[in-house]
Each structure stands twice: as structure tokens, then as C-alpha cells.
Amino acid sequence: MSKLTFKETLILLRKRKGLTQSELAEKAGILREMISNYESGKTTPRESTLRKIALALGADFDELMNLMLEEKGADEQVKDETHLLFRREDEDLRYVEKISDVVTLPVLGKVHAGDPNLISEQEIIDLIKLPRRIGRSADYALEISGMSMIEAGINKGDIVTVKIQSNADNGDIVIARIGENYTIKRLRKDENGEVWLEPANSHYPPIKGKDFEIVGVITYMLRRFK
């Protein structure tokens, strides 16, 4: 009998537990679409995500990880790409040219770089492959609409990677929730304790005097070159 593939092993382990894809996703704390993508072979999970899945299935993480890496090693090499990236560490634009060791992040809805707008945190509109050293610093990605952050190098159509966290430092570019709506802005704080959201476009006013919640910090900006 031939050896089960990684995706076949996931399906078998899930069915042995009597779980649907939605139930497994809930137990692992991830999106159902991610389980579907892993089981169909469209993508493979990051190490941290695989640990959650293995725990939810009561499976051996090392065995699953080794199986996945064996198959990835046998796959065709990912074609070289050139990207323009925004680095949180130095707020500079840099080129990263070769992608070999990759991870896949879900792109969830769109977030407006302008007035706050509604996004769906559950809708995956795309999947994006990134170098592991970049992808491992984020939990998901978002597509940008609007132009309020253009002076920070973030334009309409760009993809930003997001680390889920509820706090941020002065100057960080963040995803903030205002009521039921979301926006991307730079977080500002002053010595008096005032906190506000600042656009990077002189045509947009800062957002002050409103209650908002930080839901994530931008780690990278990605622009594809055609």
C-alpha cells in the first residue's frame, strides 16, 4: 500500500475524530477555509498552525511536520519573484528578490486606507505565498483600498501582512476597529496620554475623539510587480 500524503493524512485523522472541517477549525482556532485548503492540497500550514491542528486531532506533530516537509522538498521549486516590501523595523522600502522557503497566508477581505469601512474577517479572498522569514511574523494579510497612507508607501491594491495584537507603539501602522468598521492608520501618542490615528496623506484628517480598538499591527507591505 502506498504511503498516505499529507492532505490524505489530515482527512483521515479528522474523520477518525468524527469532526467536520468546521469543527476541526473551531477546535484549532483557525478558519474553516484553511482546513479546506490544506485537505485539498492547495496550501500547507505554517508550523504554528500545524501545531494547533495536531493538538486538536490528538496527533503527533513531528510526524505530520516531517511528512509535510518531505512532500514540500519534492515539489517543484517556487519561481523567483520580485517584491517591494515595507519593513516595520526601519520604515523603509526594500527589495526582496528570491523566494524559496515559503509560507502561505490568507488574504482576508479589504481594509480601507481612508474613511473606516466594514471588512469580513472570515472571508478569504486570496492566498499569498511569502518567504518564511516574512510570513512567520504575521497571522494574515489584507488588501488595501483607499489612498490615505500613500505617503507611507502604502497604495490602493497593495497587500499588508498583519500581526494580531491589541497594543502598538507610537508610530506603528495599525489596523484599528471603530465600531463595526476597520481602517489602517499610523498610531500616535503624546506625552499627555492622548492617542489618535493619523493618516499619511495631507488630504485626510487625523481620527481623534473616537473610541477605537487596535486589532493588529502591520509588519510588511507587499506590492507585486507585473
Residues annotated as catalytic are 148, 185
The CA distance from 42 to 33, in Å, is: 11
Are 83 and 224 spatial neighbours (Cβ–Cβ below 8 Å)? Answer: yes
The CA distance from 29 to 160, in Å, is: 22
The CA distance from 45 to 48, in Å, is: 8
3-state secondary structure at position 32: helix
Q: Does an H or E element contain 200, and which?
A: none
Are 137 and 220 spatial neighbours (Cβ–Cβ below 8 Å)? Answer: yes
3-state secondary structure at position 104: strand
Burial (CB count <10 Å: 0-12, 13-18, 19+), residue 77: exposed
The CA distance from 64 to 83, in Å, is: 31
